Chains A and B, each alone.
With several copies, the nearest count.
Chain A
Amino acid sequence: MSKEIVYPYIPNSAPDVKAAMLKDLGVSSVEEFYEDVPEKLRLKRTMDLPAPHLSEHELKKHVMGLLKKNSDCTEFSSFLGGGCYQHHVPAICDEVNRRGEFLTAYAGEPYDDHGRFQTLWEYASMMGELLNMDVVNIPTYDWTQAAATSCRMAARMNGRNEILVASTVGPDRHSKILDYCKPELRIKTLDRDHKTGQIDLDALQQAISENTAAIYFENPSYLGIIEDMGQEISRIARDNGAECIVGVDPISLGVLTPPADYGATIVCGDVQTLGIHMQYGGGNGGIIATHDDERYIKEYPSRLFGISTTDVKGEYGFGDVLYDRTSFGAREEGKEFVGTASALWGLTAGVYMALMGPKGMQEIGEGILQRVNYAILKLSELPGVKAPAFSSSHFKEFVVNFDDTGRTVAEINKALREKRIFGGSDLSQIFPELGNSALFCVTEIQNKEDIDQLVNAIAEIVK
């Protein structure tokens, strides 16, 4: 590699043009441009980095070689959920989100990036239909961010300093809320009913006070439980002047009541289930939604796009609503902060919703309910296996307790892996009170054979 390399991604590393440009600037070497960097701050050696794979072929071989060391969920039959879900991703979702126009756009104007504005506005519009709410943000990072921001939005609105959080909130969300709300808000965990796994309404009544900025719960919860007392919970919140924040998996909303209908005032959630690959947990985008009420809208940190007219009759234009409320507009005087977020996944979720339509959403919801009920039914027939651990209705996920099998979840999952199955995720660390339990997830991509295979494999392992 002694000969000078002209890098394919660096056109002006070609010697002649580089020399010509230097000459044009009256400079003898690029070194001169760095004259302001003091000697003591210089790195006086070549960075100590692995030798590069200069050719595309070798690079691909190297990276694919590493990736092939993974076993993925197309090779294994997976029952993992817990905040990241394997649903079918329609080919068109990928077709659209890999188009260079979208993939490599960023922060253009409503003119040159009209398509970006329209697709993201349409995303928000379709999400609004799923949620039955009029205002939806351009997605923030993920549900953890959306939940934490929802709490702070509530507190900003009512000036209170306490959030009541259901005990069945996802652990990542819980952790994020704790950190993110810390300077201003106390987080209290609400007890749950031991049998149903749902929020204990008495405990809620006792915990709520005039300090309560908001109640936050998820429906279906992290444990797959459908909370059916939403109406009551939101009434209690309302009666006490608190906001009712509900986190939701939008793929459930073809069959489940949207939180707004049972009184949620702020809704958060994640778009990953809507046409986005799991990507080792990198496919998230955080939904925040409210009604069209200025008090709420003013508190969003995210960008909100609005529709408008143009100088030409019949032409749609778009732009930012209340841009000045953002940190882009007002630095630290803005609401929290905004920056690069998860636009591409929002756009993709839009494509997904447009493909699915009302019927698709209903059918996928119903199909998941059927499969989950079937999985529960079959697992519950196994000796020593308690499925589900809670008596409520479930959507997509459910807890299975293995206490009476004499096997730990870790052991069972290891044995399942030998059969090319990823069993449910181990809850024993994050919900120790559930004992030796695992969270199983079933989606529309599992058919009867897949579930039977799981059940038979577990039967064999625990027998």
Chain B
Amino acid sequence: MENIAKHRVNEKGEPNLRRYHQARWDEPIIFELSNKDERGILIPEASQELKDEVGDVMAALPKSMRRNKPPALPEISQPQVLRHYVRLSQETLGADFNIDVGQGTCTMKYSPKIHEDLARCPEFAALHPLQDESTVQGILAIMYNFEQILKEISGLDRFSLQPGAGSGAIYGSASIIRKYHELRGESATRDEIITTSYSHPSDPACAKVAGFKIVTLPPDKDGYPDFEAFKAAVSERTAGLHMTNPEDTGIYNPDISDFVDLAHKKGALCFYDQANANGILGITRAREAGFDLCHFNLHKTFSTPHGCGGPAVGALGVTKELEHLLPVPVVEFDGEKYSLNWDMPDSIGKIRAFYGVIGAVVKAYSWAMSLGANGMKTAAEIAVLNNNYLMKKICEIPGATAPYAEGKWRIEQVRYSWENLTKETGITSEQIGIRAADFGVHYWTSHHPWTIPEPFTLEPTESYTKAELDEYIAIIRNAATEARNDPETVKNAPHNCPIHHVHHDPLDDPAQWAITWRSYQKKMEK
């Protein structure tokens, strides 16, 4: 028998690509599985005695409110419902399955399964938010303890765990900034928030929702937010500064506190978008840089799973000065009992129902408690090591570059460019990404607008082995090689995914788009 393992690497010692194929089930739309009268589950019936006492409750409903046509949901037996969904699950590439370094800025780190068990036990999952505080001391303790951890990580003084994700926290920060100036009687004049072109789209977008005009700083030639432009922009109209550091480029901005100081001088508040703080845990904090507010995405740095896009928490921190403006309620501890404090007359009010996605807090707390100060710092350091390793190897691929700040190390991620490759071959970054999917990995370009041409953004986090990073690099290298030698294979990708090239036109055409099955049926009839 031949030694099978020897086929793992090629002559150059690079890993051979996996013979990959994603599960392809060609699954119908769930409505197509419907058969008359099938049942997926039966409902607990009220006892006959009870029914007899209340009579015909349907007839007793106001006529206008009695539904006259049952909802046209599909009728499917339980095994078939399950089969449909588990098949579709296999057609979804979760982080558990792939070398998920290609969704840069998303911090696709490992979400430990033990945390899932903890957050799903009835001792948590079956808690009602309006239970008396005496019956929820355990969960309040976790919320309180976790807040203490975030305070130490950031140096800020108080946190709300309520916002439903990073954007919710950014919105909350804008609302707090608004309220702050309002209470000082400056709301009419302070109507601008300054942010940077490499900040997340939610930084300007949420500030806009809160009523601010947006001023966006361009990058300077090294990719940093342009300080000269900032000096020109900042004024007594400036209500707040929304900054990230490092930005999506992964370059740490050493002048960050100059921005903060100048903003403060003008009377503005400074918000640090730390959605992703994964590279700097235990290294540098919002406090030392002078920020008034910051937020952390628990679904990034703190490992809670992304759930196809939520639920999530954007933990929103503030300095003592702004504490009274946080969303209600906050958790208090008097040394004996934990309680919810609703008595905050200056609060901006509710950002989300109840107290937020506390399941994510249970998981994030567990993550922090499994690592401690040293472990979290190790996570940061290894994430940064992995990122710089990846950068070196990616930049060795002809056609790939890491624009800006050449020669500098990056923190936790890098925005790369295929500008050269595209010029040479016509193959775009998006096409490279789709080809990468043929080998079982994700790949992300960038938010819009694309300031860096033909961008792609990689963020390896601390969760992957060197061998995995090497495999990812080999996949990208292969796609770039194909772009030169076999461009049709790249253009016609994907080949090994559940489906093939999707037609985009129907999605932007009102006559064709179909956001639901019923809509699709109607449009097909026409």
A239 within 8 A of B: no
B403 within 8 A of A: no
A124 touches B516 (CB 8 A): yes
B96 touches A366 (CB 8 A): no
A12 within 8 A of B: yes
A135 touches B385 (CB 8 A): no
Q: How far is the CB of A199 from chain B (nearest CB, A)?
A: 14
Residues on the B chain within 8 Å of A336, using CB? 205, 209
Residues on the A chain within 8 Å of B204, using CB? 327, 331-332
B465 within 8 A of A: yes
A277 touches B128 (CB 8 A): no
A432 within 8 A of B: no
B74 touches A357 (CB 8 A): yes
CB within 8 Å for A70 and B135 given contacts A344-B307, A354-B76:
yes
CB within 8 Å for A99 and B86 given contacts A64-B118, A67-B121, A307-B520:
yes
A337 touches B171 (CB 8 A): yes
CB within 8 Å for A280 and B128 given contacts A306-B514, A321-B508:
yes
A338 within 8 A of B: yes
Residues on the B chain within 8 Å of A25, using CB? 385, 388-389, 392
- Cβ contacts A42-71/B at 8 Å (1 or 0 each): 110011111111111111101110111111
A82 within 8 A of B: yes
Say which one of B225-233, B419-427, B471-479, B493-501 lies at the interface with A: B493-501
Q: Which of A129-144 contact B (CB under 8 A)?
A: 129-130, 132-136, 138-144
- Cβ contacts B109-129/A at 8 Å (1 or 0 each): 111111011111111111111
Give the bracket for the number of chain B residues in contact with chain A. 35 or more
When the two chains form the complex, which single residue of B206, B447, B498, B513 contacts A115, counting CB atoms closer than 8 Å?
B498
Residues on the A chain within 8 Å of B362, using CB? 63, 67
Q: Give the nearest-CB partner of A219 in chain B.
A: B65
Report Cα–Cα, A92/B354, bound state, in Å: 26
Report Cα–Cα, A142/B309, bound state, in Å: 14
B40 touches A8 (CB 8 A): yes
Q: Which of B480-526 contact A (CB under 8 A)?
A: 494, 497-508, 510, 513-520, 522
B135 touches A417 (CB 8 A): yes
B39 touches A7 (CB 8 A): yes
CB within 8 Å for A106 and B353 given contacts A12-B465, A373-B57:
no
Report Cα–Cα, A253/B411, bound state, in Å: 43
- Cβ contacts A254-274/B at 8 Å (1 or 0 each): 111110011000000010000
Residues on the A chain within 8 Å of B360, using CB? 282
B7 within 8 A of A: yes
A316 touches B4 (CB 8 A): yes
A58 touches B44 (CB 8 A): yes
B265 within 8 A of A: no
Q: How far is the CB of A410 from chain B (nearest CB, A)?
A: 9
Residues on the B chain within 8 Å of A54, using CB? 42, 370, 372, 375
Q: How far is the CB of A149 from chain B (nearest CB, A)?
A: 9
Report Cα–Cα, A71/B137, bound state, in Å: 9
Which of A144, A230, A339, A351 is packed against the most chain B CB atoms within 10 Å?
Answer: A339
Q: How far is the CB of A1 from chain B (nearest CB, A)?
A: 8
Residues on the A chain within 8 Å of B93, using CB? 101, 105, 108, 112-113
Residues on the A chain within 8 Å of B289, using CB? 41
Report Cα–Cα, A324/B368, bound state, in Å: 38
A10-B379, A11-B463 known; 18 new pairs, CB 8 Å cut-off, are A9-B79, A16-B36, A37-B254, A41-B257, A63-B362, A72-B122, A86-B128, A101-B89, A110-B502, A113-B92, A122-B517, A134-B518, A176-B350, A230-B64, A277-B126, A280-B358, A281-B355, A312-B499
Q: What are 22 A-B pairs at a CB distance below 8 A?
A: A9-B379, A14-B36, A41-B254, A46-B373, A55-B42, A56-B114, A64-B121, A83-B129, A114-B88, A125-B518, A130-B71, A140-B164, A254-B70, A255-B58, A257-B66, A277-B120, A280-B127, A314-B16, A316-B29, A319-B507, A370-B54, A447-B46
